[in-house]
């Protein structure tokens, strides 16, 4: 089983004053490498300061998106190399909110992921279905297509992470049941195995549908769930650390 990853996504939240939350998390983490890996993906404005604040602790810092190009005339965008230079170790690509709000296609997500890998970052590639797609019985088709089109040719097992996002369970108060999660994660593992063979077991598959202290323990026990991509609960140190504790007890 790959090492569990507990990743927080602050989304468009966080000012310099909120680095106190990150420092609290960093201070609470034990140095033992056998414990879950912990990551906070903060707004780009905080990456450098967050990396400095987390220095010397097991806490890693990530970005939330990157451009596919290394440099150029792309006003307002940030390259993977820039995130790496600021202190990031990971970057989220293909989050459902980026796909919906910015029209990011799976092909563009693959380009972002490839750029991240080239820059020395670990991309967290997000996939998942909307409520309408689930109700229409398209879960398998949607996930299969997104995996095929979003994981770049350059990717090798261990160089990237996948996060399953049931879009209908993000910020809605709804959470996928254990059977639904097991089905989706099992499908993703099969798709990765079809592509990479036995080495696909090295790829971590995170659950990204509103994991919180109340449901973390149950979700983390589901087969092929190798951690979580956590939104709102990552904004409070106590809640995020509670999830980390649940992961440590696996």
- What whole-number percentage of the chain has pLDDT above 90? 92
Q: For 36-59, how does the pLDDT look when each residue is reduced to its tens digit (9 = 90+)?
A: 999 999 999 999 999 999 999 999
pLDDT at 122: 98
Contacts of 123 by beta carbon, 8 Å cutoff, 6+ apart:
90, 91, 92, 93, 112, 113, 116, 117, 160, 161
Can you tell me the mean pLDDT for 73-91? 98
The CA-based angle 116-161-178, given to 5 degrees, is 150
Q: Which residues does the annotation mark as catalytic?
A: 95, 165
Q: For 117-141, how does the pLDDT look when each residue is reduced to its tens digit (9 = 90+)?
A: 999 999 999 999 998 999 899 999 9
pLDDT at 32: 80
Q: Kindly write down the DSSP assignment for every residue of 190-201, as one continuous string.
A: HHHHHHHGGGGG
Q: Mind listing the domains of the chain with CATH numbers?
A: 5-248 (3.20.20.70)
- What whole-number percentage of the chain has pLDDT above 70? 100
Q: For 185-205, how does the pLDDT look when each residue is reduced to its tens digit (9 = 90+)?
A: 999 999 999 999 999 999 999
Give pTM, 2 decimals. 0.97
Residue 242: pLDDT band with limits 50, 70, 90: very high
């Amino acid at each position: 089983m790959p090492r569990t990853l507990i990743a927080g996504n602050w989304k468009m939240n966080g000012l310099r004053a909120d680095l106190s939350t990150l420092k609290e998390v960093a201070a609470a983490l034990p140095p033992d490498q056998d414990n879950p890996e912990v990551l906070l993906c903060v707004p780009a404005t905080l990456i450098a300061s967050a990396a400095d604040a987390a220095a010397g602790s097991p806490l890693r810092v990530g970005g939330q998106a990157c451009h596919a190009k290394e440099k150029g005339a792309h006003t307002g965008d940030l390259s993977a190399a820039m995130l790496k230079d600021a202190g990031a170790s990971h970057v989220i690509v293909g989050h459902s909110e980026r796909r919906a709000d910015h029209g990011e296609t799976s092909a563009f997500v693959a380009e972002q992921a490839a750029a991240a890998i080239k820059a020395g970052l670990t991309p967290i590639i997000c996939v998942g279905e909307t409520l309408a797609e689930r109700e229409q019985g398209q879960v398998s088709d949607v996930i299969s297509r997104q995996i095929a089109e979003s994981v770049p040719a350059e990717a090798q097992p261990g160089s990237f992470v996948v996060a399953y996002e049931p879009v209908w369970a993000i910020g809605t108060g709804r959470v996928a049941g254990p059977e639904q999660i097991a089905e989706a994660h099992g499908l993703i593992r099969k798709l990765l195995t079809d592509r990479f063979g036995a080495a696909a077991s090295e790829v971590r598959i995170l659950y990204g549908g509103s994991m919180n202290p109340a449901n973390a323990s149950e979700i983390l026990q589901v087969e092929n769930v190798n951690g979580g991509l956590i939104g709102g609960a990552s904004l409070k140190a106590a809640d995020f650390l509670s999830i980390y504790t649940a992961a440590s007890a696996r």
